Structure 1
Amino acid sequence: MTVASKDYLYELFNLEGKVALVTGSTGVLGGAMAHGLARAGARVGIIGRREAKAKEVADSIQAEGGTSMALPADVLRQDQLIEIRNRVLQEWGRIDILVNAAGGNVPDAFVPPQGSIFDVPIEATRRVVDLNFYGTILPTMVFGEAMVRGEHVQQPSGCIVNISSMAALRAITRTMGYSAAKAAVTNFTQWLAVELAHKFGEGVRVNAIAPGFFLGEQNRSVLINSDGNPTPRGKLIINRTPLGRFGRPEELITTLLWLCSPASSFVTGVVVPVDGGFSAFSGV
C-alpha cells in the first residue's frame, strides 16, 4: 500500500473539525460511541439526564486528548434540547453529526415470565415508546434543523445515526413495547433519509445501527448472573448468536465512524446489524 493510498483512507474516515452530539452517551454503549467519535477527531457533546455522569464522560474524553463538553438534558424536553443547540452553535459554530443513542426498556414494560401482554401496564409501554421513539424524533427535529438551516449553514450537510435493535427485526419474547418502538425507529430512519435527501440534497444522510446483544446497565442483571455466568436467557441468546458471545461496546465504533464519515457518502436509509450473526441465524 502506498503512502498516498494511506492518506486517502485516512481522509475517508477523518472527522477532524466535525461537531457530534450523542444522546444517551451517559450509558455504556452511547459512551463508547462518544469516545470513538472523539478519537476520530470530532468535538463531542455528551447528552444525558445525569449531569454528573455527563461531566464524567466529557472529562474522560478530554483526558484522552479529545474535545468534549457535558450537555445534561432530557431527550423528551424540547426546550432543553433547544438550549443545548444554542449553546453548541455559540461555542462550536456548527452541528455535523447526531447519534440518537438514548433509549432502553423499563421493568414494568416487560411481559412477566408467567404472564402475557394482558398483564403489562399501558403506561409502562407508553414510557418505553416515548423514550425510544419520541426520544429519537425530538433530537432529530432540534439538532437536524441546525444542519440544514441557520446563518452558519452555507449548504445543508450532516449525518444522523439512529440506534435501532435486533428487537425491531426479530420477535424477541417479553419486550413488546421496546420492540415496537425500535421498529418505529427503523421505519423513521428510512422515511427521514428520503425526506431530507429530497428536501435538502445529498449532503444530509440518515442511517441506523441495529446492535445485537451487548451488556449495558439496564440488561446486565437479565443476561448475566452475579458470578459472571450467563443467565438462562443469556445462554439462549448466546446459543442463537453464531459468534457465540455478547458484543463488546467498542465493536459498534467502526460502523458508526463509517456511517458518519465521507467513506459512506452514497449510503443513506440503511440499518446496519452489528450482531454477531444473530439476524442471519434461523436457530436451526
Structure 2
Amino acid sequence: MNIKEQFNLEGKVAIVTGSSKGIGKAIAKGLAENGAQVVISSRSQEACDEVVKEFTEEGLKAIGIACHIGKEDQRKNLIDKTIKAFGRIDVLVNNAAINPVFGPIEDVDPAIFDKIMDVNVKAPWSLSNLVLPHFKANKNGSIINIASVEALTPGFGLGIYSTSKAAILMLTKNQAKEWGQYGVKANAICPGLIKTKFSAALWQNEKILGKIEKSLPSARMGMPEEMVGLACLLASDAGNYMTGGVYTADGGYMIAG
C-alpha cells in the first residue's frame, strides 16, 4: 500500500467532539478532506448544522449530532445515532473540554473541580468505552485524545485543567495497553498555545502573548489547522504502529527555557 493510500480515510467514520469550532472543527475538516465521513458534535445542534452545511458545500461528508459530553444519556445518543447513520465507527477524537477558571489551585470551587473532571476526564473515558464494542467488531479503531502541553508541565493559573489533561495522558496509555488486543490504537495530542476562542484569555492579552511568543522557538502561537496533520496520521493506516503515544504540537514550548 503506498503512502497516499495509507493516509486515505475513505469508508471510515470519525466522531469529533467539540467540533463546531477551533481545533475540533479543523481536525474534523482534515479527516473529511482525507475521505472520512465525519460526525460534527457540540452542545448546540444549530452550531453543528452550520459546520455541516459549510463542509457539505465543499463536497465533504458530514452529519451533525448535538451532545453535551458531560451527560451520559447524550453520550449514548451520540454513539447510537452515529451507528444508525453510518453503521460503523472507526475513529473517536475526544476533543471537547472546558476550563472555566484561571487562578490558584486552592481557590477553585469544589463544584467547578467536579465539572472539569466530569467533562475533561470522565466523558472521554465513557465515550471511548461506548465505541469499544464497535471497534472490536471491526478489529480496528483509533482513539485520539486531545490533551495539552499543560498536561506535561505546570503553567500558571491552569492547575486543575492541567491535572485533568494529565489524567487524559494516563487514560490514553491504559486504553492502548488494554485494548491493543482488539486492534485498537490510542494516542494523545498535546497542543501548545493555539489561536482559538478557548484560549482567547491568553492570546488577547498582549503582554502575556508577547511573553509566550518571545519564549517559543517558533516565535508565534499556533493555528488550529496545524493540529490536523498529526490527527490524520493517527487516524489513518499510516499510523498503525503508533499507540500509547503522546505527541506535542507546540511550537517548541516544551523545550523553551
TM class, shorter-length:
over 0.9
Give the 5 Å matches for 1:243-258. 243-258=218-233
Give the 5 Å matches for 1:83-122. 83-106=77-100, 109-111=101-103, 116-122=104-110
Q: Deviations over 1:146-197 (max 9, x none)?
A: 211xxxx2x4211000001010011101101100000000111011100101
Matches of 2:19 and 2:240, distance apart in 1 = 25
Matches of 1:181 and 1:279, distance apart in 2 = 19
Q: What's the Cα RMSD here?
A: 1.4
Matches of 1:250 and 1:216, distance apart in 2 = 11
Aligned to 1:4: none
Give the 5 Å matches for 1:117-196. 117-148=105-136, 153=137, 155-196=138-179
| Runs of 4+ with >3 A deviation | none
Matches of 1:81 and 1:135, distance apart in 2 = 8
| Alignment partner of 1:205 out of 185, 188, 203 | 185
Which structure has more relative contact order (CA 8 Å, sep 6+)? It is: 2
| Alignment partner of 1:21 out of 15, 25, 29 | 15
Given that 1:78 and 1:142 are in contact with CA atoms closer than 8 Å, whether structure 2 keeps it comes out as no
Matches of 1:240 and 1:23, distance apart in 2 = 31
**Equivalences, count:** 257
Given that 1:61 and 1:67 are in contact with CA atoms closer than 8 Å, whether structure 2 keeps it comes out as yes
Identity %, equivalent residues? 33
Aligned to 1:70: 64
Given that 1:58 and 1:70 are in contact with CA atoms closer than 8 Å, whether structure 2 keeps it comes out as yes
Aligned to 2:54: 60
Matches of 1:34 and 1:63, distance apart in 2 = 15
Structure 1 length as normaliser, TM-score? 0.87
Aligned to 1:275: 250
Q: Which runs of 5+ in 2 are unaligned?
A: none
User: Which residue type is aligned with residue 251 of structure 1?
Assistant: E
Matches of 2:153 and 2:9, distance apart in 1 = 34
Given that 1:210 and 1:272 are in contact with CA atoms closer than 8 Å, whether structure 2 keeps it comes out as yes
Q: Which runs of 5+ in 1 are unaligned?
A: 1-6, 226-230
Matches of 1:267 and 1:175, distance apart in 2 = 29
Larger radius of gyration: 1
Aligned to 2:27: 33
Structure 2 length as normaliser, TM-score? 0.96
Matches of 1:220 and 1:118, distance apart in 2 = 23
Residue 215 in structure 1 maps to residue 195 in structure 2:
yes
User: Which residue type is aligned with residue 239 of structure 1?
Assistant: K
